[in-house]
Amino acid sequence: MSPTITTIAEIGKHEGQPVTIRGWLYNLRESGKLLFPIFRDGSGQIQGVVPKNAVSPETFDALKGLTQESSVIVEGKVRADKRAPGGYELDVSNVQVLQKVSESDPYPITPKEHGVDFLMEHRHLWIRSPRQAAILRVRAEIIKAARDFFDDRGFTLTDPPILTPAACEGTTTLFPVDYFDEQAYLTQSGQLYIEATAMALGKVYSFGPTFRAEKSKTRRHLTEFWMVEPEVAYATLDDVMELSEGLITFIVKRCLEKRRADLQTIGRDIAKLEKIDMPFPRINYDEAVKMLQEGFAKGALENKFEWGGDLGSPDETYLSALFERPLMIHRYPAKVKAFYMEPDPQRPDLALCVDVLAPEGYGEIIGGSQRMASHELLLQRIHEHGLPEEAFKWYLDLRKFGSVPHGGFGMGIERAVAWIGGLEHVRETIPFPRTLHRLYP
């Protein structure tokens, strides 16, 4: 009978026992009649130890000539060893090679360094690297945490359509799709639709992909990215801000609890994440402008910020660097924000909106607002923005049949992963990133 099948992550439970692991050869070091194969199985890595006189000649020879990423089923005995990074080593007794990678066409990603373009071209293989696997586990944890957060608070998941008949917001560029000879577009936000489901179910959220055909070429942009968007009936801007900081705090704490080892693999400065707690600092747009102008006076910013404009990327970086927790900036001028935002009753030139900026220069990870409740004003705004009234007929209906104050926000998953993982670029936060110049693999 072959030994118990287990995973490398669970191998500590089998100390002193024979086990079978099924995976791939990550690397092989050899020292004369002693082999040190490192195996990986998706859950982790473990080093095997193979003295020539401890195994059959066939097993030794099979391992000795094995190439990187060859698939193997390995039997061996688990042994605790202080020298091992994971705490355990495997005294290999037998190896079954399912496929040996050809020497004439070896695995392209070597243990040495590679350039971004090469790695992106081999993204389907790059994700096998320990760091990339750790990032994807952190991503999965963030998504699960976000869903748990809403599920535990009485929210209902209501997924909006991906194919839409018209622009949600009209400002950004959309990917056109031929829909049986009709012009359709890939969604750029589910928000308008979940405003409808919020009127049906009270507290709702959506989680899904969104598409922006913007020619953005920065470390913060993908053309296809995932958003979590909650929407709550009867919510005010204050409710939206509370929900935002609650969600972010919950996610960070969950990652520290469950994915600490992965964060360490990625090289994250965990002390910075441990400082994340409620409440988040809140400043309004007027205060932000004052701080930016002070920053310019001190020479920390290149351009003098004038009241009335939207915050640029360098502005956001400057402001968020002043705080250790995510920064909430609320009540921007209405004219730089989306048409559907409720005006501030105290100052109708301002919108009841909030942007949440992650610390350490990661910029905006959440954008939210209280939505406009008045049918008359919404119709006026649609006209002012030159949007086709016909396309928004259903959206206007929400203001005809029992309109209530309501609000919500969208959180970009990839930006959240980039911040929590301390990553340079969002392209590493999703299995197969889509950017301006990247559609393969």
Partner RNA sequence: UCCUCAGUAGCUCAAUGGCAGAGCAUCCGGCUGUUAACCGGAGGGUUGUAGGUUCGAGUCCUACCUGAGGAGCCA
| Interactions with RNA, residue window 182-211 (CB under 7 A) | 189
CB of 121 to RNA, least distance (A): 8
- DSSP strands (E only) in 169-311: 176-179, 182-186, 203-211, 224-233, 282-284
346 is a contact residue toward RNA (CB under 7 A)? no
Residue 221 binds to RNA (criterion: CB under 7 A): yes
Query: Residue 391 class from Cβ within 10 Å (0-12 exposed, 13-18 middle, 19+ buried)?
Result: middle
438 binds RNA (CB under 7 A): yes
Give the list of residues 6+ apart from residue 152 with CB closer than 8 angstroms, or none: none
Residues of this chain, 46-105, that bind RNA according to CB under 7 A: 47, 49, 51-53, 65, 67-68, 81, 83-85, 89, 103-104
Position 342 contacts RNA (CB under 7 A): no
* Residue-by-residue DSSP string for 257-271: HH-HHHHHHHT--HH
Shortest CB 56 distance to RNA, Å:
14
Instruction: Pick from 21, 410, 421, 423 the residue near RNA by CB under 7 A.
Output: 410
Give me the 140-179 binding string for RNA, x by CB under 7 A, dash otherwise: -------------------------------xx-------
Residue 240 makes contact with RNA by CB under 7 A: no
From the CB of 415, what's the least distance to RNA, in Å? Answer: 5
Q: How far is the CB of 217 from RNA (least distance, A)?
A: 4
Looking at the DSSP assignment, which residues form a beta bridge with residue 20?
5, 75
Among positive and negative, which fits the CA dihedral 317, 318, 320, 322? Answer: positive
The smaller minimum CB distance to RNA, of residues 403 and 435, is found at: 435
236 is a site residue for RNA (CB under 7 A): no
Name which of 256, 198, 255, 263 is nearest 232 in CA terms. 198
How are beta strands 182-186 and 163-164 bridged, if at all? Answer: antiparallel
The least distance separating RNA from the CB of residue 170, rounded to whole angstroms, comes to 10
411 binds RNA (CB under 7 A): yes
Q: Given candidates 2, 110, 183, 264, which one binds RNA under the rule CB under 7 A?
A: 110
Of 25-33, 135-143, 261-269, 289-297: span binding RNA (CB under 7 A): 25-33
Q: What are the strands of the beta sheet with 182-186, ordered from one edge?
A: 163-164, 182-186, 176-179
**Nearest to RNA of 67, 258 (CB atom):** 67
CB 436 within 8 A of CB 216: yes
Give the count of beta carbons closer than 10 Å to the beta carbon of residue 406: 23
Sign of the Cα torsion 17, 18, 24, 27 reads positive
